[in-house]
A and B are shown apart, each in its own frame.
Chain A
Amino acid sequence: MSQTNIADTSAGKRVMWTYMLTGLGIFFLMVLVGIAMRAAQAGWIGIDPGTFYSLLSLHGIGMITAMAIAGLGILWYFVSRYTPLNQGVAFLAYGFFLAGVASVIISVIPGHYGALWTALYPLPFTGTYWPNWATGAWLIGNSLVMIGFMIWCAQILGALLARFGGVRGILAIDYVFKNREFTQSGKEPPPPEMFAAAITAIDGFIGGTAGLLVVVALIVHWIDPSVAIDPLWAKNLIYQFGHTFANLTMYMAVAGVYVGLPMCTKRAYHTSIPLAIAWWGTLTFVIIAYFHHLYMDFAQLQFVQYVGEISSYLAAIPVVVVTVFGGVMLVHRSGMKWSVGSMFLFAGMIGWVVGGLGAVLDATIPINIELHNTLWVPAHFHTYLLEGVLLFIMGWAFVNLEQRAGSASSLLTRWLIGTGMFGGGALFLLPFYIAGADGVPRRYATEPTPGPYYAGVATVGAAILLLGFLLAIIEAVRLARSKNTSVAA
């Protein structure tokens, strides 16, 4: 079980790059949709409300799915280095993702579906402005994505349990509770990125089950409208899936830090007892942290509201604290040379901390009363998705490309990319926070003042971010094409 017998396989790399490039491709298209929406909120371009909500539905599910596909590809590769995996299964899951995305696009572009990706029953059936078939295409598309995700989870979970000695082994239970015996017998706990894979697989399977349950109920209602659904039940399940899926993208992508940062710093990222315990926190609490989406549903079981606040804290705080601390320790006085890859991985940790802070504040009920469903919500999740998840994914990609090319990017290139991605990012994100704290609601095609003003600033920021992203892609292509000048790595 030592870290040295890592086997790089071409299958692993093929799955990883296929997933990663697909994810980044969808991301790029969805950024264009995002900029269009923000410009519309600024009043700079005219988008009628119906189209706006169709675009918002597409952007929401599309972005989360994009990040998930990329993250799952990276994790699949990491797991394949420890145990052989059947790539046919990975491409089966991939097929489900693509079919799901296609179905969603059909439902939104010709179909004009517009009840958002977390449609709350009696939506998407009441007061619709799109044909009934579009609702069906949407629901079927969603279920295909969920099935693809669950196929991935099942494959990875099975492989991990077999490779690392069951649940006890993969969760490092003996390593934590019987540490002395464990280490004396010469055993090693699973490396950090395997925790990311295991937690994604376990919690992802639970989330996928909840999601399928409610989507199947909605499909049944779509076929036979006389079948009634309890709105509170549906809301719980929708957010159990939605929150878990969106949040897990972070826990997928962070594996890129566990593996990538050691490559940059020439140091090792070891599993430690606090790291294992922190991941147990995420494992346990990430599936119930979604209760914070129902804070303003006073009819919800009251006990659950209390659980919601504390589990929101415990799902996020320990793992951020331990991982980021470890990451900073890795870089500190390591003599690491900054490259686009290491810069992205490090900046991603900053984005994770900042977005996490925004999330934890909003997960505090007395604060949530003033921030629930304001722009503060997209503020925090765009922070950790754009300046966290995306940077981890791109950072990992760059670390690979840099190593293969045996060279890094010039200082000027790094500055330009950094200014675009972080400067543009800040200019895009800060207006969300400020307007949110000011009470501007989220999901408004037309915002009350001062919303449109901030939307304008944010549109400029997003455009700058897009430039930075495109520059990074050009640089990535350049690195990918350049010949390795150093000794084969």
Chain B
Amino acid sequence: MQSTLVLEIFIGVAGLAIVLMLWLANYRSSDPIPQADVSATGYAIRRYWLWTTLIVAVAVFAFTVPQFPYQKAKADANARHYPVVAQQYSFSMPSTLPLNTPIVFDVTSKDVNHGFGIYGPNDKIFSQVQAMPDYVNHLAVTFTVPGHYTVRCLEYCGIAHAAMQGGFDVK
């Protein structure tokens, strides 16, 4: 998913909801009718409206399940594994990584929780996973765009959290 698209969806749907709600509140507001009249129509609409939103929610869930990142690391047995170790306040990881090759990052931490946030050459988030001590998180990716990738810590880890950065080149 592109996060700019998400932002557009958000602004679009939110805008629509705001306009609709304000319109319903102000529509012929100086010409009141009994509550029973509103309810009669309202309850009929609500039945569809409730079911529609629930069906949309379940459909979105079903649609997104195949895109969950959790199985991907196991899916490709031939993927190359690279260790990433986070520590207050730096990452130890390879400095160059191959293009168009399935890769699995084995991410962990030596001290507290950190976040392994990969930003692409366009400086947008490419992917991320948590770095938790005592656990290894396997993040599968394939880089299709060459260039310099920045890594930023995406979990609060202490005073220099905002300065905890690293990077690697993909070629």
Chain A residues within 8 Å of B, Cβ to Cβ: 49-50, 53, 114-116, 120, 122-123, 126-129, 230-232, 235, 267-268, 272, 274, 296-299, 302, 305-306, 309-310, 313-314, 317-318, 321-322, 324-325, 328-336, 346, 349-350, 353-354, 357-358, 360-361, 364-367, 369-374, 376, 433-434, 436-439, 441, 443-448
Contacts and interface: CB of A to CB of B under 8 A. Distances in A.
Contact of B28 (A321, A333, A443): A333
A281 to B, nearest CB: 9
Interface in B66-101: 67-71, 73, 88
A445 B162 contact: yes
B40 to A, nearest CB: 10
A268 B35 contact: yes
Interface string B1-15: 111101101110110
Given A127-B158, A376-B3, A433-B11, 18 more contacts: A127-B112, A230-B134, A296-B128, A296-B129, A299-B135, A306-B68, A328-B24, A331-B24, A350-B17, A353-B14, A353-B21, A360-B57, A369-B125, A370-B6, A372-B128, A441-B152, A441-B162, A443-B162
The B interface, classified by DSSP as helix, strand, loop or mixed, is: mixed
Given A123-B158, A441-B117, A353 B69 contact: no
B72 to A, nearest CB: 10
Contacts of A123: 112-113, 156-158
Given A127-B111, A230-B134, A437 B13 contact: no
Question: Max chain A CB contacts within 10 Å: which of B30, B124, B125, B139?
Answer: B125
Nearest to B162: A444
A298 B129 contact: yes
Contacts of B169: none
A49 B157 CA distance: 12
A442 to B, nearest CB: 8
A328 B25 contact: yes
A325 B154 CA distance: 38
B124 A438 contact: yes
B157 A369 contact: no
Given A49-B162, A231-B134, A366-B64, A302 B112 contact: no
A354 B14 contact: yes
The A interface, classified by DSSP as helix, strand, loop or mixed, is: helix
Contacts of B25: 328, 331-332, 346
Given A365-B69, A370-B1, A126 B130 contact: no
Contacts of B22: 350
B1 A366 contact: yes
B31 to A, nearest CB: 7
Nearest to A57: B156
B3 A354 contact: no
16 contacts: A49-B161, A50-B159, A120-B113, A122-B112, A123-B112, A127-B111, A274-B50, A298-B70, A309-B64, A357-B10, A365-B64, A370-B2, A370-B124, A371-B125, A441-B153, A448-B123
Interface in B141-159: 152-159
B4 A437 contact: yes
